[in-house]
Amino acid sequence: SEYSSARSVEHLAKTHLKSLPAKLTTATTQTASNFIEHFYFPHVEQAAKLAPSTIFGYKHIFRKHLRDRLADVRLCDFSTGAGQRLLNQIENEAGLSHTSLKHIKWFLVAALNYAKQVDALQTDGNPMEYTEVPEGAATEQTKAYSLKEISSMIAALEDDQVASAVIATAAFTGL
């Protein structure tokens, strides 16, 4: 055989080994999905630095758009290219708006920032920061009611004080 010992193939392995992170650990080789679910979420819940509504939104994004897509992506393999392909795939499959895709990107930036802080991600910079948010699906312009229209709705409900209050609250608070 051309390769009679481990030393005879060492030169072939060197180029591949150089592309690996400095140290592979159980933290760096776990999947991104596992890290987010079992380390990032418990951390942000315990730290209480994010509003409960933000954590709720992050968990929704993760469950609906990321958990399955990141189930086979190890942190040590997460690159800007992988992040860009992920955003593009979500755009093509889910038909989300540009704003929703931005929320996904910045959620991943936050999760990967934490991964870097705990040495689970060993890249130069955060790979998601260099991604470009796809254009996303077109959205329709929402309509705002005029003061005259709001007054007409409230007047039509004059016999129902609760309904009038709900309409007034929604209209005058931008809901």
78 pLDDT exceeds 80? yes
User: Which two tokens mark 63?
Assistant: 């469950």
HEC sequence for 112-132: HHHHHHCCCCCCCCCHHHHCC
User: Which two tokens mark 41?
Assistant: 């979420």
12 pLDDT exceeds 90? no
Q: How far is CA 151 from CA 68, 106, 135, 157, 175, in A?
A: 48, 40, 38, 10, 16
**Single pTM value for the model:** 0.70
124 pLDDT exceeds 60? yes
One DSSP character per residue, 67-124 reads TTTTTT-BGGG--HHHHHHHHHHHHHHH--BHHHHHHHHHHHHHHHHHHHHTTS--SS
Q: Which residue(s) pair with 97 in the sheet?
A: 137
* Segment 154-171 mean pLDDT: 87
For residue 164, what pLDDT band results from cuts at 50, 70 and 90?
confident
